[in-house]
Amino acid sequence: MEYLPRVVQAVAGDDYTVYAYFSDGSVRRADIKPLIEKGGVFSCLLDKELFIDRLTVMNGAVAWDVAGNRDETACIDLDPWNMYEKSELVDDPLAEDAA
């Protein structure tokens, strides 16, 4: 059976990066800055406070609750499959021994 990536936790990193924790135990780091620089729906994430404070998980994907009301139809999210396949596999940055 093929693994269907599902994000269970998302943590903001430095310089508009996101750490996505997947249900298989892997952690992947994605640079969101190129999406923000393209403009469109992602441009609001240039607001660093919004980028960090509204980062969440919705429907098994890294998402930003832009409206602040947990409305899944009003969020910005990233495709978990694409993120799993194309983002860098990294050690857990929250692990006690992480430097």
Q: Which residue numbers in the chain have pLDDT < 70? A: 1, 97-99
Q: Which domain holds residue 23?
A: 7-90
* pLDDT score of 98: 58
* Residue 81: Cβ within 10 Å count: 13
Q: What CATH number should be reported for the domain holding residue 83?
A: 3.30.2020.10
pLDDT, mean over the chain: 94
* Residue 42: Cβ within 10 Å count: 19
* pLDDT score of 97: 65
Residue 43 lies in a domain: yes
Residue 99 lies in a domain: no
- Alpha carbon of 15 to those of 2, 56, 85: distances in Å? 33, 17, 21
* pLDDT score of 99: 54
Q: Which residues are CB-contacts of 41 (< 8 A; sequence separation ≥ 6)?
A: 76
* pLDDT score of 3: 87
90 touches 19 (CB < 8 A)? yes
Count of domains in the chain?
Answer: 1
